[in-house]
Amino acid sequence: MAAPRAALDRRAGRRRAAGLLYGVLRLAPALDAPSLRTRAPLIHAIAQALRTAPGHTPREDFFLDLLHRGFTPEEARTQLGIAIDWGSYAELYDYDSDNATLALEELSG
């Protein structure tokens, strides 16, 4: 008997999340801005979008909408949260939780 589609989708989502976690753990020894820009595509995309966005402070919803194209809402939120944490740690960008906006580190200081 074939597994229901929802169960298959959940398994695929868990595999994607596990792959993301594996990628994050591989990056752990190299948590500097240049390494993250070249080895973490989502972090690079966020930094690039911040450089080109009007006002340089897009809301997190912008990035969630993009991630929703390929991931469930929960997966998208998890991935964005990890990217925000790691990008903030590497001082690439800041996250303002009160306004749910991101800003380039050099522009927010």
pLDDT tens by residue, 74-101? 999 999 999 998 888 888 889 999 999 9
Q: Is the pLDDT of residue 6 over 60?
A: no
**Total domains, the chain:** 1
The C-alpha atoms of residue 4 and residue 67 are separated, in whole angstroms, by 24
Spatial contact of 102 and 88, defined as CB atoms under 8 Å apart: no
pLDDT, tens digit, for every residue of 51-73? 888 888 889 999 999 999 988 99
Sign of the CA dihedral running 101, 105, 106, 109: positive
Q: Is 97 helix (H, G, I), strand (E, B) or coil?
A: coil
Taking the whole predicted model, whether its pTM rises above 0.85 is answered as no
What pLDDT, on a 0 to 100 scale, did the predictor assign at position 77? 92
**The residue type at 92:** L
Which of 27, 43, 37, 26 lies closest to 79, judged by CA? 43
How does residue 109 score in pLDDT terms, banded at 50, 70 and 90?
A: very low
Range of the domain at 48: 5-108
| Phi-psi map region of 56: left, alpha, beta (phi>0 left; psi -120 to 50 alpha) | left
